[in-house]
């Protein structure tokens, strides 16, 4: 019952205020300020130097089972207290050896156990964003539950098999590194909304201003969607937005203060509206770890191919206050892939029923699966029939 009660259904930025944005080229960074900082939860960065990280998701590294492969520049160590007292200052916690590093000469690899691993009674190590991406990759991973004749032997035996997605490091997003270097950090700032050409690229929130100052530049090490990389290349400025104080309404310091507060409120409302593809959006979430009064969970927005979609992870406390948030915006192709998988799963992987629900013929659905990289799930003769029908349709239209 407690698990369901604290399962987040939408992101509301409860306990946070949106400050006026700062702009550099096509990058707009919107500061998020925390009204009440408690200090009973802290996040510390742990850097890794290896070229590749291999994470065992089932059992130990030496045993057979599912593995996650990626470049992981750093992890986060979550420390908390159960009674609300402040966590020890940065550098005062015990630091444990994390995983095993192997040097193969041409490359280094780190072997790790689990995406989120408890290191002591009140300390948990997890891999930011990779926690969310691993969950995204594992969605509907097992494939058909029924041995439908349309599916290949590989799909029936191995499900989706080895799934992978590609992303762009933050250092390749034009203007992001410079923006992070020159922008002002507010005293109460604990996070940011990052926009590239007014498209929401990422949301990042941590528990305290001290944590944010230490983790501010880590945004350049995060990975981003292909769309944001393209926007960074295509646009060199943001859309013109301006708000000002009506001088005719200003008569003294009190009315000036009121006008400025209203201007800031209008900015906050508008910038919240810009992020509505994430905020107040219905989520499918899963609690991964309960740490005293805190709940670590990952999520994906309700899949809608016509809207932007995000995955991510977050930590909330029992009253719903958002303590940690990190998001990744899915590309249109990534959304299409998981949307088609979700529809197949919802209809027991029956091609005809799924096609009818989507308003497609069987051949059109097979073509859609082929286009998003899942053609290998379908028997070859069915794929050939879909291509043949598509060619006939094109010839008829000509």
Per-residue model confidence as pLDDT tens digits over 150-197: 999 999 998 898 888 999 999 999 999 999 998 999 999 999 999 998
**What CA–CA distance (Å, rounded) separates 49 from 150?**
45
| Whole-number Cα distances in Å, 94 to 105, 119, 124, 304 | 31, 10, 12, 44
Range with the poorest average pLDDT among 186-200, 216-230, 265-279: 265-279
Per-residue model confidence as pLDDT tens digits over 49-86: 999 999 998 766 555 678 999 999 999 999 999 888 88
Q: Is the pLDDT of residue 202 over 70?
A: yes
Whether 137 and 155 have beta carbons less than 8 Å apart is answered as no
Residue 198: predicted pLDDT: 87
**What CA–CA distance (Å, rounded) separates 129 from 170?**
13
Residue 269: predicted pLDDT: 62
DSSP label of 151: B
Per the structure block, which two tokens stand in for 221?
């090490």
Q: Is the pLDDT of residue 266 over 90?
A: no
Range with the poorest average pLDDT among 52-66, 159-173, 275-289, 340-354: 52-66
Q: Is the pLDDT of residue 257 over 50?
A: yes
pLDDT average, residue stretch 348-370: 94
Range with the poorest average pLDDT among 96-100, 369-373, 376-380: 96-100
Range with the poorest average pLDDT among 1-10, 371-380, 382-391: 1-10
Per the structure block, which two tokens stand in for 278?
């994430």
**What CA–CA distance (Å, rounded) separates 109 from 69?**
10
Residue 326: predicted pLDDT: 96
**What CA–CA distance (Å, rounded) separates 129 from 75?**
10
CA-based nearest residue to 211, from 325, 42, 92, 15: 42
Residue 214: predicted pLDDT: 94
pTM reported for the whole predicted model: 0.87
Per the structure block, which two tokens stand in for 225?
């969607």
CA angle in degrees (0–180, nearest 5) for 263-264-265: 90
Residue 210: predicted pLDDT: 95
Report the 10 Å Cβ neighbour count for 336: 18
Where does residue 372 rank: exposed (0-12), middle (13-18), buried (19+ CB within 10 A)?
middle
**What CA–CA distance (Å, rounded) separates 288 from 115?**
10
**CA 309, 315, 317, 318 torsion: positive or negative?**
positive
Per the structure block, which two tokens stand in for 6?
């604290």
pLDDT average, residue stretch 87-105: 70
Q: Is the pLDDT of residue 315 over 70?
A: yes
Q: Render 189-207 in DSSP notation, one character per residue.
A: EEEEEEEETTEEEEEEE-S
Residue 64: predicted pLDDT: 61
Residue 127: predicted pLDDT: 96
Domain ranges of the chain: 2-141+157-274, 350-397
Residue with tokens 């599916």, as numbered in its chain: 151
Residue 47: predicted pLDDT: 93
**What CA–CA distance (Å, rounded) separates 362 from 212?**
51
Report helix, strand or coil for 119.
strand
Residue 395: predicted pLDDT: 52
Q: Is the pLDDT of residue 87 over 60?
A: yes
Q: Are strands 199-205 and 16-18 parallel, antiparallel or unpaired?
A: unpaired
Element (H, E) at 332: helix 332-346
Per the structure block, which two tokens stand in for 80?
């908390």
Q: Is the pLDDT of residue 343 over 90?
A: yes
Per the structure block, which two tokens stand in for 85?
């007292």
The pLDDT > 90 percentage for the chain reads 54
Per-residue model confidence as pLDDT tens digits over 5-24: 678 888 888 788 888 888 88
Per the structure block, which two tokens stand in for 177?
């590194």
**CA 361, 363, 369, 370 torsion: positive or negative?**
negative
Higher-confidence residue of 11 and 130: namely 130
pLDDT average, residue stretch 265-274: 60
Q: Is the pLDDT of residue 256 over 90?
A: no
Whether 216 and 225 have beta carbons less than 8 Å apart is answered as no
pLDDT band at 252 (very low <50, low <70, confident <90, very high): confident
pLDDT band at 319 (very low <50, low <70, confident <90, very high): confident
Per the structure block, which two tokens stand in for 174?
């034009």
């Amino acid at each position: 019952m407690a698990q369901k009660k604290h399962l987040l259904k939408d992101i509301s930025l409860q306990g946070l205020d949106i400050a006026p944005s700062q702009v550099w080229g096509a990058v707009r960074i919107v500061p998020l300020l925390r009204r009440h900082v408690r200090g009973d939860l802290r996040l510390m960065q742990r850097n890794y130097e290896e070229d590749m990280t291999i994470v065992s998701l089932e059992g130990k590294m030496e045993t057979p089972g599912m593995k996650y492969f990626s470049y992981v520049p750093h992890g986060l160590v979550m420390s908390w207290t159960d009674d609300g007292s402040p966590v020890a200052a940065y550098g005062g916690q015990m630091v444990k050896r994390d995983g095993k590093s192997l040097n193969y000469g041409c490359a280094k690899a780190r072997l790790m156990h689990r995406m989120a691993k408890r290191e002591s009674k009140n300390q948990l190590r997890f891999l930011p964003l990779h926690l969310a991406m691993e969950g995204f990759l594992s969605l509907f991973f097992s494939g058909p539950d029924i041995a439908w004749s349309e599916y290949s032997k590989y799909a029936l035996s191995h499900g989706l098999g080895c799934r992978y997605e590609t992303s762009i490091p933050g250092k390749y997003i034009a203007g992001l590194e410079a923006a992070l270097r020159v922008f002002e950090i507010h005293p109460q700032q604990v996070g940011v909304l990052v926009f590239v050409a007014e498209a929401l690229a990422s949301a990042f929130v941590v528990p305290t201003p001290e944590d944010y100052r230490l983790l501010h530049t880590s945004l350049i090490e995060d990975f981003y969607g292909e769309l944001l990389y393209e926007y960074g290349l295509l646009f060199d400025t943001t859309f013109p937005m301006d708000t000002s104080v009506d001088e005719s309404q200003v008569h003294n310091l009190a009315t000036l203060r009121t006008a400025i507060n209203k201007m800031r409120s209008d900015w906050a409302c508008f910038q919240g509206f810009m992020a509505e593809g994430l905020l107040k959006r219905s989520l499918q979430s899963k609690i991964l770890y309960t740490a005293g009064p805190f709940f670590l969970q990952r999520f994906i927005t309700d899949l809608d191919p016509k809207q932007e979609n995000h995955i991510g992870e977050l930590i909330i406390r029992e009253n719903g206050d958002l303590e940690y948030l990190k998001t990744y915006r899915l590309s249109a192709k990534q959304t299409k892939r998981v949307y088609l998988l979700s529809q197949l799963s919802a209809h027991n992987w029956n091609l005809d029923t799924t096609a009818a629900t989507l308003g497609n013929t069987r051949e059109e659905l097979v073509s859609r699966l082929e286009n998003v990289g899942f053609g290998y799930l379908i028997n070859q003769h069915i794929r050939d029939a879909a291509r043949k029908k598509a060619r006939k349709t094109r010839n008829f239209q000509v």
